[in-house]
Each structure stands twice: as C-alpha cells, then as structure tokens.
Amino acid sequence: MRFIYLKCLSFVIVAVLLCSLISDGLYAQQVVLNEIMASNNSIIADEDGDYEDWIEIHNYSDSAVSLAGYGLSDDYDNPFRWMFPEITIQPGEFLLVWASNKDRADPAAPLHTNFAIASAGEEILLTAADSTRIDELPLTEIPTDMSIGRQPDGTGEWVYFEEPTPGAANTTQGISGLLEPPVFSHSPGFYTEPFELEIT
C-alpha cells in the first residue's frame, strides 16, 4: 500500500513539474518584441538626456514572466549579446530597453543594451534563457523618428509608426509600408526649351 502511495505521489510531482515547464514555455512565447526605434532624434530621451535607440518588450499573457537570462541581440551568431538581469515583466506590461551601447543591467534602473541599432537595417532578436528564439525583427530599414511595431500589440503584423509610443500600447495609426522617394528624369532648375519629364 505504501509503495502504491509513493508511486502515485511521484507521478503527481512529475506531472506538476511538467505542467509548470509547459506553462513557463507558453508564457515565454507571449513575451515579444513589440516596438523598435533605430534612429531616435527627438522622440524620447533616456535618463542621461540622450536620444538613444530603443526596443520595447511586451508581455501579452495573463501571467508574469521572468526575463532573467533572456538575450537581446542584433546578431544571429550571438543571440545573448546582451542579457536581461533578474527582472520580471508583468501581464500586459510594456518594458522599454534602451539600445544605447551603455550596457546597464540594474533591474532597479532603466535598462541599456551594449549595442545600438543601425537605422539602415539589422535584425533584432529576443531569445529565452534556454536558447529558444522567442521573437525577431528581420533586417528592416527604419527612418529617423519613426518606429516599427506590432498592431495589435503582441500579435499583429509589423507596421511603421509616425507617432511612436515607447513604453505604451501601439494605438496610433500604423503604416504597412514605406514608398521610395520619386526619381525625376531632369534636375530642378529653369529650362528654355520644353521637354518631357518622367517620374519613376
């Protein structure tokens, strides 16, 4: 009888541990890159008064998730280029991380990565502590003082924002794509003879 009891108890413990691991994994998948700015000229300053690049992380699950050991990177070959400290992101929270090269990981202060983002485009990766890639933004050019983010928050497609919302929900109008500037067949100036102007 005691053997059966111990066997049942062992089964229950293993089941609880497995459920916990599965639950943690599911919640981790609901922590995402939500908004990114690669060329911040005037939108928001950090605690030093500097206009730095930034990355917004969003937890759209209904449970808190520990980010300890998670990695942020701009390099597929080095997903843990910068690592989160012992910090927890709450349900519905938007966490702003400065991509400033200042490398600050005090959980009681604003977070700063040890890399900046190239506005001409580079990948941004979010990796869980177990090396699972949680989310990524592929190489994307982002104009100055515009951001790229998900709409709706957490689950939507990537769109551009002319009115970024660092640390808050993406409620402004998103733009699905950017047009290249037009190219004129003739340079600006005064002409004495008529000509056919082509715009491509």
Q: Domain residue spans in the chain? A: 2-175
Measured between alpha carbons, how far is 139 from 130 in angstroms, rounded to an integer? 24
Residue range 2-175, CATH number: 2.60.40.1260
Return the pLDDT at 183: 61
Sort strands 53-59 and 71-73 into parallel, antiparallel or unpaired. Answer: unpaired
Query: Looking at residue 182, what DSSP letter applies?
Result: P
Return the pLDDT at 185: 73
SS3 140: coil
From 127, 106, 110, 100, select the one nearest 28 (Cα to Cα). 127
Whether 21 shows a pLDDT value over 50: the answer reads no
Instruction: Kindly list the distances between the CA atom of residue 79 and the CA atoms of 59, 66, 74, 200, in Å, as whole numbers in the listed order.
Output: 20, 18, 8, 40
The percent of residues above 70 in pLDDT, for the chain, comes to: 80
Torsion angle of alpha carbons 101, 110, 127, 76, nearest 10°? Answer: -10
Return the pLDDT at 119: 83
Predicted confidence band of residue 68 (pLDDT cuts 50, 70, 90): very high
Q: What is the pLDDT of residues 26-58, one digit of tens each?
A: 445 799 999 999 999 999 999 999 999 999 999
Q: What is the pLDDT of residues 76-119, one digit of tens each?
A: 999 999 999 999 999 999 999 999 999 999 999 999 999 999 98
Return the pLDDT at 189: 76
Return the pLDDT at 164: 99
Question: Please, what is the average pLDDT of the chain?
Answer: 86
Return the pLDDT at 3: 47
